[in-house]
Homo-oligomer: A and B are copies of this chain.
Amino acid sequence: MPDLTARVGLVGFGTVGTGVVRVLREHRSDIDERLGFPLVLKRIADIDLETDRGVPLDGIELGTSWEEVVEDPEIDLVVELVGGTGTAKDLVLAALGAGKRVVTANKALLAHHGDEVYAAAARDGTDIAFEAAVAGTIPVLRALREGLCADRIESLMGIVNGTCNYILCEMEEGSEPYPNCLKRAQDLGFAEADPTFDVSGMDSTHKLAILAGLGLGANVHPDDISTEGIEGVANLDIEFAREFGLRVKLLAIAKRREDGVEVRVHPTMIPGASVLAQVGGPMNAVQVRGEMSGPTLYYGAGAGSIPTASAVVADVMELARAKHLGVAGRVPPLGTPTLRDVPIVRSEDLEGEYYLRFSVLDRPGVLAAIAGALGERGISIASVVQPERHESRAVPVVIMTHRAREAALRKALEEIDQQGAVQDETRVIRIEREI
């Protein structure tokens, strides 16, 4: 009898790695039954072999060297959960070079070096899969790569960072300021001790670079993506949004345009009755609009040891099946063999509706001056809210615009600034109604 067993080597035994061990152990009989052959975790490598992860490790060879995993001729599949773009990159390329199939959840690696990694997999006649790199357990990459492969995707809008979504939901529900809600997120394990990477929008930007490749077939580098985090969102903005039937979400947006692609990450006001607006707490969702399929949406847990691990193991099973059949490259990693180098539309060329919150001294003529500056730049006002009257101190004035070009808006805001009518930085939040 030939040995049909597919053998897995895991590099990186942290939170998700521990989850992978648990999924493989606890669902082993189901997994083997579905595959029709045994899937075995043969080796684990991590620099820390001391910490007790609370999972049984009998029968698994432990080591501190990833090279041992990659060089083990019995290992068919390597799971990379080291993270970052240093060791992770070396080991992924070495594993592919050794003809192993690779599963990774490493969004930074793929966002920055995806082209090199995908090319290596094709050249080495093997496969790489990375469902868990974007939106955790949600099989949205599969949906884009295969489920929607007959369609042309027009846009993607995703809530792909659970930390930010949790904080914004907390700010909305409890009307507490950002720092308190961030603190709570940290206490509950939804935010890191240093939350910068998440709250600055950078994490979403990495994921968007991957999504834009899969969805639009566009070669997008994180540096191409205009990124704004949630640190500047005030409770006041959330409350005003609600008055207009809108909610504030951090969205990662990619849109196909005739002149290129739009790729941006920023707090966005969206219709409160939309499905995307209901995504609460640390959950994720990606809404895709296809020319033929129309809108589809994919919702679920964006992080967490076990949900993420279940996506990693699903990828392992997919590649184990390919190994079993002796084929590779069934579907290109991004659904298309080559990404197009398309122009990235500059922020100033974007067009949309805007929420503007000015902080003004409540004197006669201030609103007229603001409205005048906007009007001169061709920006028409959809509505104005000026809720309070305190002649002695700054009060908020909120203006919702009709569709306007961002360059014109920026010019107008600069002029308004120069007039000295505003007391504080003007808050600008984009509105997306067609989601």
A306 in contact with B292 given A150-B31, A336-B34, A337-B36 (CB within 8 Å): yes
A150 is contacted by which of B27, B273, B335 (Cβ under 8 Å)?
B27
Chain A 256-294 interface 0/1 with B at a Cβ cutoff of 8 Å (1 = within): 000000000000000001110011100001000010111
Which chain B positions have C-beta within 8 A of A152?
A: 27, 30
How far, in angstroms, from A298 to B144 measured CA to CA in the complex? 13
> A103 to nearest B CB, angstroms?
11
- A94 interface residue per 8 A CB criterion: no
Complex CA gap A321/B330 in Å reads: 6
* Count of this chain's copies in the oligomeric assembly: 2
Structural contact, B137 and A34, CB atoms closer than 8 A: no
Residues of B within 8 A of A34 (CB): 149, 332, 335-337
Q: Does A314 sit at the interface, judged by CB under 8 A?
A: yes
A23 beta carbon closer than 8 Å to chain B: yes
In contact, B137 and A293 (Cβ under 8 angstroms): yes
Q: A62 in the interface, Cβ–Cβ < 8 Å?
A: no
- The reply to whether A292 and B23 contact each other, CB–CB distance below 8 Å, is yes
Question: Does A148 sit at the interface, judged by CB under 8 A?
Answer: yes
Question: Does the CB pair A325–B330 fall under 8 Å?
Answer: yes
Q: Give the chain B neighbours of A280 by CB distance below 8 A.
A: 273
Q: Please give the distance in Å from A303's CB to the nearest CB on chain B.
A: 11
Does A69 touch B at the CB level, under 8 Å? no
The residue from B33, B149, B290 contacting A336, defined by CB atoms under 8 A apart: B33
Q: A142-B147, A330-B330 are in contact. List 9 more A-B contacts (CB 8 A).
A: A30-B152, A34-B335, A36-B337, A151-B310, A293-B307, A296-B299, A296-B300, A297-B297, A297-B298
